Amino acid sequence: MKVPVVERIMRANDVLADEVRQTLRENGIVALNIMGAPGSGKTSLIEQTIARLGETTVAVIEGDIATTLDADRLSKLGVQVVQINTGGSCHLDAGMVKMALAQMKLSTLDLLFIENVGNLVCPAEFDIGEYKKVLVSSVPEGHDKVQKYPLMFRLVDAVVLNKTDLMQHVDFDLGVFRSSLTDINSRAPLFEVSCKTADNLDSWVAWVRSQVTS
């Protein structure tokens, strides 16, 4: 009896996701769904990207189980930030995003970052009306994450490998990570960056800018 219930939930979510997508399209907003494990550096990546986007008008929907720590941090950049606390849910859904959009001045925006709850399983299964899905992985998590969480890596449109400045300090095989990603998702570009040292962030920011201007 559980399967029909799950199917109804997913269908209802997909309807709302289409409504979110339509709202974003009508306002000319590109939305990027930023996913990844806790501590991978999702907020840091958004923070560093906003600082480099120049005249692009950006807003953030910040998803967390609890607290406003990341939202408070991003608000200091002078951008619109709406906090979603899921109260225990391991992912954002389209209904949550739709309610957050109602609190924003959409007509002023070019780009919307939606930082999903830190998790490598649940967020992959829920369409939230985004334009592109981005996965942030990090060197300390290990080079086997692609193989352990294939669905997440298979569905995304881009992968950011963060904390490359720690490569020499941990047992991380970059060749294995790269080849595993190619095997699972050869269409997703891989950006190897360090948000701490700013290494290679320019190529990532150029990709983000290209999504807005395309």
Total structural domains in the chain? 1
pLDDT at 125: 87
pLDDT at 4: 64
Sign of CA dihedral 80, 90, 119, 13: negative
Range of the domain at 132: 2-213
- In 3-state terms, what secondary structure has residue 186? coil
**Which residue has tokens 């352990």?**
148
Asked if residue 1 has pLDDT above 50, the reply is no
CATH code for position 20:
3.40.50.300
pLDDT at 7: 76
pLDDT at 2: 45
Give yes or no for a contact between 80 and 105, defined as CB atoms under 8 angstroms apart. Answer: yes
**CA distances for 108 relative to 99, 104, 138, 212, angstroms:** 18, 9, 33, 14
Q: What is the pLDDT of residues 32-78, one digit of tens each?
A: 999 999 999 999 999 999 999 999 999 999 999 999 999 999 999 99
pLDDT at 137: 98
For residues 142-153, give the mean pLDDT. 98
Q: What is the DSSP letter of 212?
A: H
pTM of this structure: 0.95
For residues 97-112, give the mean pLDDT. 97
CA dist 59 and 61 (Å) reads 7
